[in-house]
Chain A
Amino acid sequence: MSGYVRRAWIVVWKDVLSERRSKESLNALVFFSLLLLFVFQFALGPERARVETALPGLLWLGFILAGLLAFGRTFLVERENDCWEGLVLAPGDKSAIYLGKLAGNVLLMAVVEAVLVSLFALFFTLDFTSVLPGLMLVLALGTLGLAAVGTLFGAITAQLRARELLFPVLLLPAAVPVLLAAVSATQTVLLGEPLGEAAAWLKLLAAADLVYLVVGVLTFEFVLEG
């Protein structure tokens, strides 16, 4: 088991290191988040009440759009320099690679989400500090679900010609339950209500995360064959 965890960790470490040196994804994603904020503002107009009503949906719209870009790239980097071959030849259970890639995606999304939430707080003069623990729990559960499906589908579409088209077309309908649950739970949290009010949604998110993780772990080796 420790070998399994270590292999997953090596994948995370490799991706974090190459991201730290190239800063390819993160720079673009942070910039993209900033642009989204402008788009939201232009779409909703200056009325503050509107922004506040739509906030849970807007946040998750931002996350899923950033996620579509981030998850779609997960395995693209492996196609350069025959890295894919290296992954296929790596010893041991292939699902460790999936979990490593998934952890990398969750980390990346965590940074993007922190930036996006901060930008919302800054540009729309919102105060998230009092609801932060609840919000972080919802974001963590929702992001894990999105990333679990996104990483798996990203690996499938990485080998295709029309991957930019197909990836969102596959991911968005599959992500509907996560989005519904996450938006509803975020709404409850942002209204300052106790977390118990959103218990049903949090349980649904946890169940969805578990199902996606199990499917991902069990099927990943078939995807990796390429």
Chain B
Amino acid sequence: MAVRILGWLAMLGLVAGLVAAFGYAPREVVQGNVQRIMYLHVPAVLTAYLAFALVFIGSVGYLLTRRAGWDRLALAAAEPGVIFTGITIASGSIWGKPTWGAWWTWDARLTSTAVLFLVYLGYLLLRGMIDEPDRRARAAAVVGILGAANIPIVHFSVKWWRALHQPATILGPEPSPIAAPIALTLFVNWLAFTLLFLYLLAKRTEIARLEEQHAE
């Protein structure tokens, strides 16, 4: 029941977010309507980071306690995490085409997000290749922990790599403080995405539990 309510709340939030993004938020002066992609892009990446943090927690929890629930948490967080990272990259790419004139540039954030995407895609591939639950959980947990520990290292390496090769950024100076309607729209969308993620998390955990029951 609680999960169902969560689902409806997420749905409500997404509709409100959509309305706010297109109806309420003003047209950005410099970038025009393209800027509205931000209302999808930023919540997606924040949700992805939340998901990978949960993968880390689930992985550590499993290795410490050996209880299957932690592993289900890691799995249920990793799958939406990869999807939300994919949404982040795709929406960033669509934004980049009119703004930078190319679908892809080796921009620092784009690159580190892509690396993150590949790390957790590998994590899911690994999970798919091991049948025995305990072995799968242990192997995945080790990769999940290393992947999370790697996030700051990847971030800095890619940032410096870009800074050293191409000092001037296309975006120019840091944007001025965000206007209130834009901030509010962003907040509504972020909330909606977080609710959606929690709903997917709850559903996926449940499915994983049923799968395990069925296998026994």
Residues of A within 8 A of B (CB): 149, 152-153, 156-157, 159-162, 166, 169-170, 172-174, 176-177, 180-181, 184, 200-201, 204, 207-208, 211-212, 215, 219, 222-223, 225-226
Pick from A162, A174, A212: contact of B129, CB under 8 Å: A162
A124 to B154, CA, bound (A): 33
* CB contact between B150 and one of A153, A159, A177 (< 8 Å): that residue: A177
Cα–Cα, bound, A212→B160 (Å): 20
A156 and B130 CA atoms in complex are apart in Å by: 11
Min C-beta distance of B38 to chain A, whole Å: 26
A201 vs B129: C-alpha distance in the bound complex, in angstroms? 36
A177 and B149 alpha carbons, distance in the complex (Å): 12
Task: Tell whether A173 pairs with B118 under 8 Å between CB atoms, given A160-B129, A160-B130.
Answer: yes
Judged by a CB distance under 8 angstroms, whether B22 is at the interface is no
Q: B110-152 CB contact bits vs A (8 Å, 1 = yes)?
A: 0000010011001101100110000100110111011101100
Q: Which residues of A contact B143 (CB under 8 A)?
A: 153, 156, 170
User: Any chain A CB within 8 A of the CB of B40?
Assistant: no
Q: Is the CB of B153 within 8 A of A226?
A: no
Give the docked Cα–Cα distance between A92 and B92 (Å). Answer: 50
Please pick, from A162, A174, A212, A215, the residue contacting B119 in the complex, using a CB distance under 8 A.
A174
17 cross-chain CB contacts under 8 A: A156-B126, A156-B143, A160-B130, A166-B126, A170-B143, A173-B122, A174-B119, A177-B158, A180-B161, A184-B164, A204-B160, A211-B149, A211-B150, A211-B153, A215-B146, A223-B142, A226-B135
Q: Are B156 and A174 in contact (CB under 8 A)?
A: no
Q: What is the CA–CA distance of A226 and B139 in the complex, to the nearest angstrom? A: 9
Smallest distance from the beta carbon of B158 to chain A beta carbons, Å? 7
How would residues 63 to 91 of chain B score, 1 for a CB under 8 Å from any chain A CB and 0 otherwise? 10000000000000000000000000000
CB atoms of B153 and A207 under 8 A apart: yes
Find chain A residues with CB under 8 A from B115 CB: 173, 176
Bound CA span A166–B125, Å: 8
A174 contacts which chain B residues (CB < 8 A)? 119, 122, 146-147, 150
- Chain A residues closer than 8 Å to B123, beta-carbon distance: 170
Contact of B157 with A by CB under 8 A: yes
Q: Report yes or no: A208 in contact with B153, Cβ–Cβ below 8 A.
A: yes
The majority secondary structure among interface residues of chain B is helix
Q: Which residues of B contact A (CB under 8 A)?
A: 63, 115, 118-119, 122-123, 125-126, 129-130, 135, 138-139, 141-143, 145-147, 149-150, 153-154, 156-158, 160-161, 164
Tell me, in angstroms, the Cα distance from A225 to B139 when the chains sit together.
Answer: 10
Q: Given the complex of chains A and B, what is the CA–CA distance between A222 and B119 in angstroms?
A: 20
Report B164 CB to chain A, min CB distance, Å.
7
Q: Is the CB of A219 within 8 A of B135?
A: no
- The docked-state distance in angstroms from the alpha carbon of A160 to that of B63 is 20
New contact pairs (20) apart from A208-B157, A223-B138, CB-CB < 8 Å: A153-B143, A157-B126, A160-B130, A166-B125, A169-B125, A170-B123, A172-B118, A173-B119, A174-B146, A201-B160, A208-B153, A211-B150, A212-B146, A212-B149, A215-B145, A215-B146, A219-B142, A222-B63, A222-B138, A226-B135
Residues of B within 8 A of A204 (CB): 153, 156-157, 160
> A173 to B138, alpha carbons, bound, how many Å?
20
Contact of B160 with A200 in the complex, beta carbons under 8 Å: yes
Q: Within the assembled complex, what's the spacing in Å between the Cα atoms of A222 and B141?
A: 9
Residue of A nearest to B134 (CB): A225
- The answer on a CB contact under 8 Å between A223 and B160 is no
Residue of A nearest to B116 (CB): A173
Q: Report B-chain residues with C-beta under 8 Å of the C-beta of A173.
A: 115, 118-119, 122
Closest CB in chain B relative to A144 CB, distance in Å: 14
User: 6 nearest interchain CB pairs?
Assistant: A177-B157, A173-B118, A219-B142, A177-B153, A180-B157, A173-B119
* Measured CA separation A47–B141 after assembly (Å): 48
| Bound Cα distance A162, B125 (Å) | 10
A201 to B150 alpha-carbon distance, docked (Å)? 16
Q: Which residues of A contact B160 (CB under 8 A)?
A: 184, 200-201, 204
